[in-house]
Each structure stands twice: as C-alpha cells, then as structure tokens.
C-alpha cells in the first residue's frame, strides 16, 4: 500500500520532495498559495490545492489528517511554519517534518513538536523524500558514489528463512556482512547463514548499486 504524504509549500524544496515521492508511487497532497506552483507540480501529485495552509479548516477539507506524514516545506516565515506544525498536530498527524531557515527557526520548530527539522534546498529535498519512502531500511551510509552500507529490518516474508534460502546477492545486489539480534544488540560479523531469520533481527549489507534501496522504497522485498 502506497504512503500518503502532505506537502505544504511548493518551492524548490517542496517540489523536489513531491517529484521524488511520485517516482516511487507515493500519493501526495500539496498546498501552496500560488496557483502557478500547484500547476507546475500537478503531474506528480494526487491532489493540489491553492490556498493558505495556516487555515486548519482548509486542511481538514482536503483530508490532510489522512496523511502518513506531512512536510512543512516553506521556511521563509517562521509564523507560517509554526501555524503549519500546530495545525498538523491538531489534526493528529504523527510524523511532521519542517523546514527551517536558520538555527533560531530550527529551535522553535523543534520546541513546538516537529518530528524532524531540516535546513535544506534541492539535494536535501531528495533525501527527505527517500527517508519518507523507507519501508525496511533503518540507515544508509554512503561510502562513495556507488557503494553503500545499508542497515535494515527483515520484511515479514523473510521471517523463518535463512540467508542461503533468500539469495539476496543475486536478487538485490547486496552482500550481508553483519547482523544484530535486536536493534540495540552487538553487531555480529561472524554468523551462520543457515540460521533462520527472526523478527527482531537487524541485517547489515553492502551494495554497489541502488537496486536494494529502490525495491525497499516500492515495498517489494520478497
């Protein structure tokens, strides 16, 4: 099932997030006060609304409370960002990402309950979108342009199967180099590949392509 993400503000940051989410099949509800911004991003979103996101009744009308997460993508005016965060909290949205123009803005937005506060633009927009898309991946460390270390939880379909049975190197171009028996457990680099995978395991792999990452975003690990 695809995620539903709200984006409030469609400048470079918000538009980049919307486009990246769209590439991986997520549905986006977007709000911006300028019609040209909404029209420009329309091919990538499920619903676009011209309006003021500081108006909580507008957000209720468009069904923003159904979103899995909301990004407050405008950081120019602190008052608007604060109203956006508070409106999202009133609507019961659990995951709220806010953009901040500077350190002072960041402190205020964190204080009022933003889940994550970022100080971006375009490149950061892609990163925020990919974090929202993650299904099983817990963390990614880029070693260079093509090589990454990925820490991830096994999908439910893998439970009870061994690494030998799953054949992850052939399917997803990833080599498992370590594992933890739980999130806070010690990283084990010596382990039995025939051992059945348990629900609480965390696997660590190294990959030289983005195939595994893309499959996770699409929730297609099997």
* Contact in structure between 17 and 11 (CB atoms under 8 Å): no
Domain spans of the chain?
4-133, 137-217
Please give the Cα distance from 215 to 222 (Å, whole number).
9
Residue 107 dihedral angles phi and psi, to the nearest 5°: -60, -40
Identify the pLDDT of residue 69.
95
Pick from 40-54, 65-79, 100-114, 117-131: least confident: 117-131
Token pair of 29 as six digits: 């509800």
* Contact in structure between 152 and 187 (CB atoms under 8 Å): no
Q: Same CATH fold, 137-217 and 4-133?
A: no
Sign (positive or negative) of CA dihedral 16, 9, 219, 207: positive
Identify the pLDDT of residue 148.
85
Please give the Cα distance from 111 to 100 (Å, whole number).
13
pTM, rounded to two decimals: 0.72
Is residue 122 scored above 70 in pLDDT? no
Task: Find how far residue 186's CA is from the centre of its chain.
Answer: 26
Q: pLDDT category, 192, cuts 50, 70, 90?
A: very high
Best CATH choice for the domain 4-133 from the list 3.40.50.720, 3.30.420.40, 3.40.640.10, 3.40.50.2300: 3.40.50.720
Q: pLDDT category, 1, cuts 50, 70, 90?
A: low
Q: pLDDT category, 208, cuts 50, 70, 90?
A: confident
Please give the Cα distance from 195 to 189 (Å, whole number).
14
Best CATH choice for the domain 137-217 from the list 3.30.70.1450, 3.30.1490.70, 3.30.40.10, 3.30.470.30: 3.30.70.1450
């Amino acid at each position: 099932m695809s995620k539903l993400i709200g984006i409030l503000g469609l400048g470079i940051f918000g538009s980049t997030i919307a486009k990246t989410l769209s590439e991986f099949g997520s549905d986006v509800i977007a709000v911006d006060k300028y019609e040209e911004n909404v029209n420009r991003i329309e091919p990538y979103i499920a619903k676009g609304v011209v309006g003021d996101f500081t108006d909580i009744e507008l957000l209720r009308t468009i069904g923003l409370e159904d979103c899995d997460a909301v990004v407050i993508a405008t950081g120019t005016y602190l008052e608007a960002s604060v109203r956006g965060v508070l409106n999202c909290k009133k609507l019961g949205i659990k995951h709220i990402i806010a953009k901040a123009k500077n350190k002072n803005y960041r402190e205020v937005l964190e204080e009022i309950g933003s889940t994550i506060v970022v100080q971006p633009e375009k490149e950061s927009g892609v990163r925020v979108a990919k974090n929202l898309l993650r299904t099983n991946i817990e963390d990614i460390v880029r070693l260079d342009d093509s090589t990454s270390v990925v820490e991830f939880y096994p999908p439910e379909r893998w439970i009870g199967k061994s690494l030998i049975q799953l054949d992850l190197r052939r399917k997803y171009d990833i080599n498992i180099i370590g594992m933890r028996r739980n999130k806070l457990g010690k990283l084990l680099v010596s382990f039995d590949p025939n051992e059945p995978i348990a629900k609480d395991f965390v696997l660590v792999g190294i990959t030289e392509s983005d195939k595994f990452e893309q499959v996770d975003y699409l929730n297609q690990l099997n």
